[in-house]
Amino acid sequence: MPGAVEIVIPVGDPPFVVHVAIVSPRPVEESHRPGAGNLPTLTAVGKRLIERRLRQTSARLRTLREELRVIDDQLAHLADDAGDLQIRAMVADSPGAGADYRRAQEHADAMSAHREHVLATIAELERRQDRLLDAMPER
């Protein structure tokens, strides 16, 4: 065959099983050309991948925004509790009341740090979403 090429394909670990294929160039049938309908084009595959990533990012953003609403509600209660315990610690002037206040304040601080982490994650996901939208191929 003119233009035929022999390809040796080693398979597995040594000792290899060798498969030999003789490949000859031939014209691609019209029905198998990209965009002919039965094979997806690179643009279509890339678009589907971007759309899937956009859906995943959007779902994650919705989840994090809901979590942020819950965190804000909990943080408000924790801060109120810590404030009440601080006043009790000052009025009671006992070591136990001071320890209760410190524990409540530590909980409020931990929730505040978690809130900051969630906000940073939301900002990163929004940047990723913007990059994905920019990468979306034009129609």
d(CA 129, CA 132) in angstroms, rounded, equals 5
Tell me the whole-structure pTM to 2 decimals. 0.64
CB 22 within 8 A of CB 4: yes
**Alpha-helical regions (H) of 1-139:** 42-92, 95-135
Which of the pair, 139 or 80, is modelled with greater confidence? Answer: 80
The pLDDT, as a whole number, for residue 24 is: 53
Q: What is the DSSP letter of 27?
A: P
Q: pLDDT for 89-130, tens place per residue?
A: 888 878 788 888 999 999 999 999 999 999 999 999 999 999
Residues 6+ apart with CB under 8 A from 50: 132, 135, 136, 137
Q: pLDDT for 39-64, tens place per residue?
A: 455 577 788 888 899 999 999 999 99
Cα angle 40-130-120, degrees, rounded to a multiple of 5: 130
